[in-house]
Amino acid sequence: MIIDYEVIDRIAAVWDGTPSATIPILQKVQEQYHYLPPEIFPYIARKLDISEARVYGVATFYENFSLEPKGTFIIKVCDGTACHVRNSGPLLETLRKALGLSEAKKTTEDLLFTVETVSCLGACALAPVLSVNDTVHAAMTPEKASALLEKLKAETAKPDFPEEGIRAAG
Ligand code: FES
């Protein structure tokens, strides 16, 4: 994978190269790559003059950071109480089945889709809900979930789909 180290340099500069830049840098890298590629750890450590273990410690402390590659589309199915009682289970099953995923295998081989569960998306009144890259989809049914998946797949097939350029470059 080609890493844009300039992004790290820019954020480190804003924070005067202090260790306080660790979290903003990790957030930006994850925003860009959907996870924290291993090659960034030694670079950040050198840049901020801290140990690699310390950077790794921050990355593993916050559950929002991921050390595993994730898909371009991160689908979070809410399985909190309000969503669960309104049948979030079948939504999850539908998505996993359509993408060949499971509880253990959360991301497709082509790195297009990740399916995860969350305990509440803060939209209980609209249950059952799921989010795709932080856009919430309300009152979902298995049928609506399938249609959404088809729409996302169609997006990736478009020639100007931005991730195509990134993958081709990598
Ligand atoms: S329980 Fe699903 S949004 Fe709150």
Cβ of 58 below 6 Å from ligand 1: no
Domain ranges across the chain: 5-61, 73-165
What pTM does this model have? Answer: 0.76
Cα 71 to middle of ligand 1, angstroms: 23
Centre of ligand 1 to C-alpha 82, Å, is 5
From ligand 1's centre to the CA of 64, what distance in Å? 18
Is a pLDDT exceeding 70 seen at residue 68? Answer: yes
Q: Are 78 and 121 in contact (CB under 8 A)?
A: yes
Three-state DSSP state, 74: strand
**Helices 40-48/52-61 angle, 10° precision:** 120
* CATH fold for domain 73-165: Glutaredoxin (3.40.30)
pLDDT digits (tens, 9 = 90+) for 70-101: 999 999 999 999 999 999 999 999 999 999 99
DSSP H or E stretch at residue 135: strand 135-137
